[in-house]
Structure 1
C-alpha cells in the first residue's frame, strides 16, 4: 500500500486532536470474541492464523530467519542468570533438550568458571511428562534464612494463574504431604516453617474486579486448606492484596499485608497474630527489603510530613515502626537530582546497592549505614553509555551481581563485593552478531508541548541520510517502566546486519526521568505520550534517517496500545506496525482479563471525563472505514490471562469488517509473552522480522 507522504512540520496539539476522529461509540459487534475458549472464537482465530501464515511462512526467507533466531535463543553460551539462595547460585535454564527448562544450582566459585558444574534440582520437562501438563516455571517463594523449603509456581502454558507446590531445594524433591495450592491467581508468604499466609480464590466474593485475591488466610501445616483462618480482607474494588515476609541475617522478621488500591497506590499494614496495624508511609511507596533491622522504602511521591521528595530512597527503624506505625521517622539514603533517578534497589548482608539512571545512562552505588542514621556511598566503576541492572544480591554476605550491556555490547555479568565497593567480570556473552560496523547515537526530538524527548538510534556506520533506511522504532510509555539500552542477538542478526536501523524512544509515561516523567502522561494527560512518540518518528524523517515508506513501529502490552493509537492517529507516518499482546478496546478494557487493575494508569469509563478521553484514543473505536491504514501484524496468545487475546481479536475483526488488510498471529501458549518455550519464541521472532523485511526492506 502506498501511504501519503509525512509532512515535516511538528504536529500541534490541535492537529493531533483533529486526527483522533469521532468519539461517537460504535455498536460492538465483536463481543463474542471475548469468549476466549469458545468454539466460534477459536475457529475465527484458526482461520486468521492460517491466512496470515500462508503468506509470511511461505516467504523463502522465513525458514532462515527462524533458524537464525533459534540458534541465538538456544545458544549454549547464553549467560545463565544467577539467583543467590542459601549460599548457592541457582539458575533456570532452557535449551533444545529442555524446552520447559531445568532449575539447577552450583557454588559461587564454580559459577564464575567458564564451564560450571551444575546440579539439576528440578526438571520441568520431566515433571510435565509425569503430570501430563506442559508446565512453565514460575516464582519460587522461599523460607528465609533456612530457604531450602520453597513454594514453587507452576503455570499451565504461561498463565498468571498457577499451581503452588512445596519443594525442598536441598533434596530436589517435592515435600511429601507438604503444602499444595491448586490453580488460581495467588500469592503466598512464609510466616514460619509450618505456616503460610495465602491469598487466592477462596470462592465467590473473594476476588477483585481485576481478577486478583483480596482475602488473606493463615494456613497451618497438616490441616486441610479449607480450615485456613481468615486474618484480613480488602475490598472487591482493590486491585489485589498481597502478603510479604521480610527477614535479615540478624534474625529479624516481619510480615506485611499490602493492599493495592490501584496499580500505584498501596496501603501497607504490619501483621502479627491477632493484630493488623497500618504503616503510615506514603501510598505511592515501594518496600524494597529489610537491612540490619531497617526497612528500606522507595518513595514515588513526596513524603511531605518528613520533608522527603518523590524518588527518594529511605530507611525506617523496624522496632520503632512496630512500636508506633502511625508516627515514623525516616532517614534519607538517596535523593534524586534533576539529572539522576533511582531505578533499582538490592540488599546484601550489611549494605544497599542502588542502580540509577542519568539521561538513560546507567550508574550504580554501594550505600553503607553509619551511626546516627547517616549513609555513606561509593560509586561503582562502570563504563559510560551502558544500561545497568541489579541481577541478584546475597543477603548471607556482601556479594552481588550486576548486568551491564548496550545495544552493541553483549551482556556482561559483574560480580560485586559491597564491603569493598569492587567489581570483577564474572561472565561475558559472546557476540551474537557483527557489531564492528555499528554505531549508537542518542538523539532528541521536540514534542507538541516543547518537551525534549531523547531516543537512541543503532545502525551501521556511514548510512546515507537520504530517507532510504529501513527503520524500526520501539517504545513503551507507561507504568513508570524505563526503556533502556539492551543487547539483542535477534535484533542484531535479523535486522541490523541486514541493513536495518533500530530506534528506542524514551517517551513520557516511563520511568527514565523519575516518577514525574511517568505522571506527566497519566489518565486524561495521556495524549502527550502519543505526541512524544509521533515526534520521535517525525524526527527520524526530518533527519532523513528514514521516510514513512521505510519506517515501522513495534510495541507490546501497553506498548501495543501505543502502536494502535499511533496507527489510528497517524496512519500516514508508518508502513509497518507490529502490535504485540495489546490493549486496544479502551472502552471495555476494565471488563477484559485483569484490565480493572490498570485504572490508575488509564482512568475509568465510569468517570465521564476519563471515558470521553478513552473513547478519543481507543484504537478499536477509532478505526475508520474511510481511512487508509498500514497493514499491521497483530500478535497475541490465547493463554494470556493478564491482558488477554480479546483486544487483538476484536481489533482485527473490525479491520476485516472495514476491508483493511492485516496479518494475525495468535499462539496458544506463552501467557503475556512471546511463547512458552524457546522454539515458540524463535518462530514468533521470525514471523515479526519477515513481516518487517517485506514491508520496509523489499
Structure 2
C-alpha cells in the first residue's frame, strides 16, 4: 500500500538555547488550543481526512467494528454501594453510550432507575462520573463529566422523588465527594479559570469547600486551602460514622501526603478546626475507617510495600501503632466491614484478598480464581456484607456479595459471555530486562495456538509510571484481537506500582530509561520464545504509555511492525506548562533543572525522531478535549514524524472530537476507535481476520 500524502504542516525557525544545547521547536504553534485557533483546527481537519481515508481502506476494519460491537453488547454492572437500606449500582444494558444508575430498596427489592446520562447530550459524550449517597440513602451527590474533560459539575438528587435539587457546583476537579450529615457536603475545586484557559491553563490554588444544600455556590464555606503553597492539592473524606473529616494534601503525583483531621462533634464550638496528624510530605497515608476515636490507615511509612496502622485521637499526643506489618505482597488497600478488616493484596500484579480481625489476626482468605483483579469491598463497621468485582483477560467483571462473618461469596450479577473463556490461555511469565531485572509479563492467546506452538501477531501493551499497577482485566477490544487470531501481552514495567516504592523508583526520573529497556526486552522475549513472528509485533500505550511507545519506537524502530501511541506525553521539555502537567515532575523531573533536562532530552519522543531510518507504521490517537495531556503533544510529535525521512509506512494521527483523556468516553466512540486502531495494527503486523485469507492480506499490504 502506498504511503499517504501527508498534509502540509508549517515549520517555524524556533530554536532556543538550554544549558548549552540548541533545541528546535518548529511546531510550537500546534500547542494552541484547537477549539480557539482556526489554524490548528484546520491542521487537525486535514490530518483527520488523510487518516480516515487510510483507515477506511483497511480490509479488516469492518470485521473489527462488528466484532467489538458484539463483544461489548452484554449487561454490565458496577459494584453496589449500600446506604440506609438502599443499594445503589451502575448498569449498562450493553450498547448504551453511558451506564445508568439504579437503586434497590433492600437487596431483593425492585430496581428503579435514578439517573440516565444517555439523555444528557446528543452525542452521548456527557457522563455520570462519581456518585455518593448520603448516610440515610435519601440524597445522592454526583459529578458530571462533559466531553471527557477533567472538570466536573456537582449536582444533588432526591432519591425518593427522583428530582434534582437546585444545587450546582462548577469548576470542581480532582475532588472526592464527602457528605456532612444530610444537609451538605465537602468538595475540592480550583478558582474559575480566565476566559479561554480552561483546557490548557495550569492548575493552582486547589481548596476544600463546604456546600450547604439549598444555597448558592458563592456562599460556600472555605474549609481548607494553602495560599502560601499554591501548588498543593487537597482532598477531603468523611469517616463512615460521620464523625471525622480527614484532609490529605499533596503537591504532585507521588503518594506523599500531609494529613489533617477535623472532629465534627466539636464543629459547632470550634468551626472547621484542623488537627495535624502528619506534617511531612514523605509517605502515603490512605484512610481506611474509624471505630470511635481510633483511625486506621494504610501507609508505606517504614514499609515500601505498605502496612496497616492505627492512631487513637483520644490520646493526648497520639502515635501510630502497627496492626498488620509489611509482607512480600503489596497491600493495595483495606476496608473495615462489620467487625473485620478486608485487606487487598497484589502478588505479581494479580489480586489476593484476606479477612482479618481488627487486631490484625487472620480469619480467612478469599479464594479468587486464577490470575485476575478484585476490586470493591466497600462498606463500613457494622455491615454484615460487602460486594466486590472480579475480572481477568478472559473474564468480564462479575459482581459478588460476600458475607463478612463467614467469608462465603455468592453471585450478585454475572455477565452472559459471547465467547468461550476456556478457549484462551492466560499465563504469567517472567523475563530478564537489559540489566538483568526480572520483569512480569502476562500473555493471553488461544489454547489451540499455544498447544500447536504457533507464532501469532502480538499486541504488546505497557505503561510503566506514576506508581500505577497494570493488572488483568477484560476488554472487548482486546478480545476482538484475540478472536482474530492475535495474541495479547501486557508487561509490568518498572516505574509502575506492582511491587511498591522500589519498583516505582527504579523507573522514574534518572531511571526512566529502565522502563523503555523493560518494554524492548519484552518484545524481544516474545519473538525469541516463538509467541510472535518476526515482523508481527505491535505495541500500544496511553498517556505515560504513549510516551513509552514514542520513546521505544525512536530507540528500536526495527523491532516493531506497528505502534499506537494514545494521548501521549511527547514533548518532555514543555509538559509542565499545561493543566495538570506540573504534577508530573515527581516522575519526570523539572525541565528547567540541568540534570533533569539532559535526561528528558535524551528520550523525549518529539526531539529524538531519527531521519533516514525505517520506522514502523504509527497511529497516534488523541482528542480535542483532553485537558490532562493536552493534544498539542500528539500534534507536534506527528508533524515531526511526518516531516522526517522515516520510511514508507504510514505515520498518521486520529483526533477524536468531544473526548478527553479516556474516562467518560461513550460506547459508540469506543467501538469506532477500537476498530480503527486494531485494523491499523492488524494490517501492518500481518494479522488476518477470519473472513480474510493470508493471501488477501499480503496482497493488500503490497
Shorter-normalised TM-score: what interval? 0.7 to 0.9
Question: 1:194-249, CA deviations, whole angstroms, 9 ceiling, x for partnerless residues?
Answer: 4444432335799998515423344445554334343432257655432423233x
CA distance in 2, matches of 1:404, 1:276: 39
Question: 1:434–1:215: structure 2 CA closer, same or farther, 3 Å change rule?
Answer: closer
**Aligned position for 1:278:** 276
Compute the TM-score of the two structures, normalised by the length of structure 2.
0.86
What corresponds to 2:217 in structure 1? 225
Say whether residues 1:181 and 2:169 are aligned partners.
yes
CA contact (8 A) 1:467 1:544 kept: yes
User: Which residue does 2:129 correspond to in 1?
Assistant: 138
Give the Cα separation in 2 of the matches to 1:515 and 1:412: 31
Offset at residue 333 of structure 1 (A): 2.4
How far does the alpha carbon of each residue in 1:633-652 deviate from its partner, in whole angstroms, 9 at most, with x for none?
A: 11111111111212111111
**Corresponding residue to 2:146 among 145, 156, 179:** 156
TM-score, structure 1 as length reference: 0.86
Alignment of 1:355-434 (within 5 A): 355-369=344-358, 374-383=359-368, 385-395=370-380, 397-434=383-420
Aligned to 1:12: none
> Quick check: 1:614 aligned with 2:600?
yes
Shift, 1:181, TM fit: 1.2
Measured after TM superposition, the shift of residue 527 of structure 1 is: 1.1
Deviation of the 1:46 alpha carbon: 1.3
Against the structure 1 CA distance between its residues 141 and 109, is the aligned structure 2 distance closer, same or farther, given a 3 Å change threshold? closer
Matched, 1:483 2:482: no
Residue-by-residue CA offset, 1:256-295 (whole Å, 9 max, x unaligned): 3322122222212223625233212763223233132332
Which residue is equivalent to 1:631? 617
1:548-627 matches, cutoff 5 A: 548-627=534-613
Alignment equivalent of 1:330, drawn from 321, 329, 333: 321
Which residue matches 1:9? none
Cα distance, 1:184 vs structure 2: 4.5
Which of 311, 315, 318 in structure 1 is aligned with 2:306?
Answer: 311
How far the C-alpha of 1:516 sits from its partner, in A, is 1.8
Tell me which of 337, 342, 345 is aligned to 2:331: 342
3-state SS in 2 of match to 1:573: coil
Identify the residue that residue 81 of structure 2 maps to in structure 1.
Answer: 83
What does residue range 633-672 of structure 1 map to in structure 2 within 5 Å? 633-660=619-646, 661-672=650-661
SS of corresponding position for 2:67: helix
- 1:59 is aligned to 2:58: yes
Q: Which moves more between the two structures, 236-245 or 595-604?
A: 236-245
Does residue 215 of structure 1 match 2:214?
no
1:29 lines up with 2:26 in the alignment: yes
Match of 1:11 in 2: none
SS in 2 for 1:380: strand
Please list the CA deviations of residues 4-35 of structure 1 after superposition, one character each: whole Å capped at 9, or x if unmatched: xxxxxxxxxxxxxxxxxx99553212222222
Q: Which residue of 1 aligns with 2:341?
A: 352
Number of aligned residue pairs: 650
Aligned residue number for residue 290 of structure 1? 289
1:93 is aligned to 91
Larger displacement relative to structure 2 (289-298 or 39-48): 289-298
In the superposition, relative to structure 1, how do residues 500 and 204 fare at CA in structure 2: closer, same or farther (>3 Å)? closer
Q: C-alpha deviations, 1:295-353, integer Å up to 9, x for none? A: 22121342xxxxx5651122222433xx43xx42323224222xx22123233233221
Q: Is the 8 A contact 1:214 1:236 kept in 2?
A: no
Query: Could you report, residue by residue, the CA deviation over 1:66-119 in whole angstroms, capped at 9, with x for unpaired residues?
Result: 1221222232x33454333433332233457743442212256338xxxxx421
Residues in 1 aligned to 2:534 and 2:213: alpha-carbon distance in whole angstroms? 63
- Distance in 2 separating the partners of 1:363 and 1:217: 37
CA 1:517/1:398 → structure 2, altered by over 3 Å: closer, same or farther?
farther
Aligned to 1:690: 679
**Closer/same/farther in 2, CA of residues 693 and 87 from structure 1, 3 Å limit:** same
1:516 aligned residue: 502
Please, which of 442, 445, 458 is the counterpart of residue 459 of structure 1?
A: 445
For residues 391-427 of structure 1, the C-alpha deviation after alignment (integer angstroms, 9 at most, x for no partner) is: 2423261311222333234433222111222222333
Matched, 1:269 2:268: no
Contact 1:95 1:678 in 2 (8 A): no
Q: Counterpart in 2 of 1:124? A: 117
Identify the residue that residue 8 of structure 1 maps to in structure 2.
none
Report the equivalent of 1:114: none
Distance 1:274 1:525, change over 3 A: same
Structure 2: gaps (5+ residues): 3-18, 688-696, 698-702
| Conserved? CA contact 2:72–2:94, under 8 Å | no
CA 1:625/1:470 → structure 2, altered by over 3 Å: closer, same or farther? same
Relative distance call for 1:542 and 1:97 in structure 2 (3 A) is closer
- Residue by residue over 1:526-552, the C-alpha shift from the partner in whole angstroms, topping out at 9 and shown as x without a partner, is 111111111111111221222441011
Cα–Cα, structure 1 residues 289 and 674, in superposed 2: closer, same or farther, change >3 Å? Answer: closer
List per-residue Cα deviations over 1:587-645 (Å, max 9, x = no partner). 11001231111111111112211111011111011112233211211111111111121
* 389-398 or 461-470, larger mean C-alpha shift: 461-470
Shift of 1:193: 3.5
Q: Summarize deviations over 1:133-175 as a string: whole Å, max 9, x none.
A: 95211112443x2343233211221211021122223322111
Contact 2:236 2:245 in 1 (8 A): yes
Q: How far apart are the structure 1 equivalents of 2:111 and 2:219?
A: 40
- Structure 1: gaps spanning 5 or more residues: 3-21, 112-116, 303-307
CA contact (8 A) 2:126 2:147 kept: yes
Q: Residue 74 of structure 1 aligns with which residue?
A: 73
* C-alpha distance in 1 between matches for 2:668 and 2:500: 37
SS in 2 for 1:571: coil
Distance 1:536 1:289 in 2: 37
CA RMSD of aligned residues (A): 3.0
Find the aligned partners of 2:676 and 2:515 in 1 and give their Cα distance: 28
8 Å contact 2:60–2:682 — kept in the other structure? no
Instruction: Supply the distance in 1 between the matched residues of 2:228 and 2:202 (Cα, whole angstroms).
Output: 8
Quote the offset at 1:125 in angstroms: 3.0
